[in-house]
Amino acid sequence: MTSQVAPLLDRVLGPGLPVAITAWDGSRTGPPDPPATVVLKSPTALRRLLGAPSDLGFGRAFVAGDLDVEGDLYSVLELREQVQHPHVGPNEIRDALQILGKDSWVKPELPPEEVKLTGRRHSKSRDAAAISYHYDVSNAFYRIVLGPTMTYSCAVWPDADTTLDQAQFAKYELICRKLGLQEGMRLLDVGCGWGGMLMHAAKEHGVTGVGVTISIQQADLASKRIAEAGLTDRIKIRVQDYRDIADGPFDAISSIGMFEHVGEAKLAGYFARMRELLAPGGRFLNHGIAQSPRMRKRHLVARAGFVDRYVFPDGELLEVGKVVSSMQENGFEVCNVENLREHYARTLRAWVANLEDHWDEAVAEVGEGRARVWRLYMAGSAVGFEAGIIQIHQSLAVHHEPGPSGLPPRPDWDTRPLVG
């Protein structure tokens, strides 16, 4: 067999790529001094790429270790626009079959990290399975990635010198100010994670609160953290679906990084339930990822793509206009929408750096395949936020009643430093 794997991929992906490609047969293509080199370690890598010529094939090969990236992973992931439609024509198929020989039709085993859920989409049982798959990985692993705040959502970076922990403090403080939290108020945090928002609100603003999550591991650690902080008399954590909450009304509701799991079909019911749980005049802040409208058709999270199979099964990203319309159709008055997408890009890069700096520790905790899933998904997401393919919005609304909204004439949440 002649050395021809890398040139074949050059034809499939298109000429002029700024990164290099090398293959197990010794072939190479690309510039002499690239920012990164994609390394195909075996014929299995080629079978995966050609079997699913999309992010799923690349992801499978990367997670399984059949394909690696030497150098700057971000520079490879930034090429997705350029290679959005790989050219796999009759000539490319013929050459691939020749390269692979008798193993051409051998279907590689799927990496064990890949999941395909069963049951009715966004039923309570399937949602619980989806959440468990993603969040019940290892609290110790999340501590490696997220740092001591254990905050798994977009931070707010007031300036270039802000640290990740300070940026997460700033995010919680910004949300508390938008919600107008005051001592004695009762807060509901839907999808409370490891309890960070409630702990901040109780310590800094004197509220009592309830947090719900359907991740058992999250709830266990959140309760322990709350006990260690001496806040058990003010904060309660429950393993509970948002559809089952029945102890309203609450003076304010936050939903931070949970909304992506709701699903378009459940959108109206979700917002209607939030309104039922909120006291008249109370504020609700929904912090969720969205697709940009011009990119939505091309980049809609596929139900058979890498993110769905390896990261967020059943996750759905909606366009912010649809989100705002649904909020208002279900009894809210939306008063403020803020796009924080560039803040999320920086947050994700900080998480990737944490993972890479503690790679051996992370692999020991969850295995190399799972660690590779998180590295690829977080780096790819950072690139997506930087490009504007995905966005994240904080949408602040009030329980609509005739008369004043109760918000200040002009937003006042940025008038004081968010980090002391």
Please state, rounded to an integer, the average pLDDT across all residues of the chain. Answer: 92
The domains located in the chain, with CATH, are 5-103 (3.30.1050), 124-399 (3.40.50.150)
Q: Is the pLDDT of residue 2 over 60?
A: no
Report the candidate in 316, 325, 336 with the shortest Cα–Cα distance to residue 393.
336
Rounded to 10 deg, the angle between the 55-64 and 43-51 helix axes is 150
Of 60-64, 154-158, 261-265, 300-304, minimum mean pLDDT range: 300-304
Percent of the chain with pLDDT over 90: 78
d(CA 155, CA 167): 5
Report the candidate in 73, 52, 70, 74 with the shortest Cα–Cα distance to residue 61.
52
pLDDT digits (tens, 9 = 90+) for 33-74: 999 999 999 999 988 988 887 889 999 999 999 999 999 999
On whether the CB atoms of residues 417 and 173 are closer than 8 A, the answer is: no
What's the confidence (pLDDT) of residue 14?
79
- Mean pLDDT over 272-292 rounds to 96
pLDDT digits (tens, 9 = 90+) for 300-320: 445 568 999 999 999 999 999
What's the confidence (pLDDT) of residue 404?
82
What confidence tier does 375 reach under pLDDT thresholds 50, 70, 90?
very high
pLDDT digits (tens, 9 = 90+) for 162-210: 999 999 999 999 999 999 999 999 999 999 999 999 999 999 999 999 9
pLDDT digits (tens, 9 = 90+) for 390-402: 999 999 999 977 7
One-letter identity of residue 197: M
Per-residue buried b or exposed e for 94-114, using 16+ beta carbons within 10 Å of the residue's own CB: ebbeebbeeeeeeebeebebb
Report the candidate in 129, 145, 133, 150 with the shortest Cα–Cα distance to residue 224.
150
d(CA 162, CA 170): 10
For the CA atoms of 58, 60, 61, 64, the dihedral, rounded to the nearest 10 degrees, stands at 150
What's the confidence (pLDDT) of residue 86?
75
Whether the upstream peptide bond of residue 409 has omega within 30° of 0, thus cis, is: no
- Mean pLDDT over 1-28 rounds to 83
